[in-house]
Structure 1
Amino acid sequence: MNSESIYSMRVVSSAFKNEDFIPIKYTCDGQDLSPELEWDLVTNAKSYAIIVEDPDAPGGTFIHWVIYNITTNRLPEGVPRLYKSQYGVQGVNDFGNIGYNGPCPPKTHPPHRYYFYVYAIDTILLEIKNINADKLKSLMEGHGIERGFVMGKYKRK
């Protein structure tokens, strides 16, 4: 990633606005669907990757979604929890599952923040079954062109 382009890519969701609360439908208290996401097309990007992080988790940053080799600039709501689909290759989140698992902070906690990071990459990455976020970040090393994010919050009742 070059330093001038840090978080310069616009990322939006029809489900929530940046820094707003994420609707229950996209959390463990609802249907646990991945929200619709859209981002800027980036010149020279061959693919995109998404990593969803909760930096407020008790044990440190908790990963909710790892998906890469996305070849469009949007994902629909409810991406199936499959290793490989028409949308991309999905890795393992910190729940130990393939695909998206939404916000599920401890009920006693104040709202947690959930960052939906989108990375524009200059190549199609090697497919690795059960890849985690750290391994994906190391695969992307030297291939990132731009990145951006949308952040939503959630508190359980």
Structure 2
Amino acid sequence: MPACPGRRRDEACHDLRRREPGTNDCGKMEYGGPAPPPGRPHRCFFRLYAVDEILPIKAGTSNSQLLGALKRHTLAETKLMGTYGR
């Protein structure tokens, strides 16, 4: 991302409030957080991508559409696994 006047070099130059919600696994356009079933701990996987530009996606974009757009613009990727139980 290009540098922005008045910001440090390592700060992003875009407004995160302008993000577009995608469709989750439940078919909703919202983040519901981990909701493991009762019993044994459940593993949840999270991915974070560093991209070279703001992706041209629209509200309601599916996971497969997002991953297609990410293929062309991903600079780095990391994964996190969380273990949840109730």
Could you tell me the TM-score, scaled by structure 2's length? 0.70
Q: Secondary structure at the match of 2:69?
A: helix
Larger radius of gyration: 2
Could you tell me the TM-score, scaled by structure 1's length? 0.42
Aligned to 1:20: none
Higher helix share: 2
After the TM superposition, which residues 1-157 of structure 1 pair with which residues of structure 2 at under 5 Å, given as runs?
45=1, 72=12, 86=17, 88-108=19-39, 110-156=40-86
Question: 1:20-71: CA deviations, max 9, x gaps?
Answer: xxxxxxxxxxxxxxxxxxxxxxxxx57xxxxxxxxxxxxxxxxxxxxxxxx8
C-alpha displacement at 1:87, in angstroms? 5.7
Report runs of 4+ in structure 1 exceeding 4 Å deviation: none
Residues 57 and 66 in structure 2, CA contact (< 8 A), matched pair in contact too: no
Aligned to 1:37: none
CA distance in 2, matches of 1:103, 1:88: 21
Letter in 1 for 2:61: I
Higher strand share: 1
Letter in 2 for 1:150: L
Query: Which sections of structure 2, spanning at least 5 residues, go unmatched?
Result: 3-10
Identical aligned residues as a percent: 32
Query: Which sections of structure 1, spanning at least 5 residues, go unmatched?
Result: 1-44, 47-70, 73-84
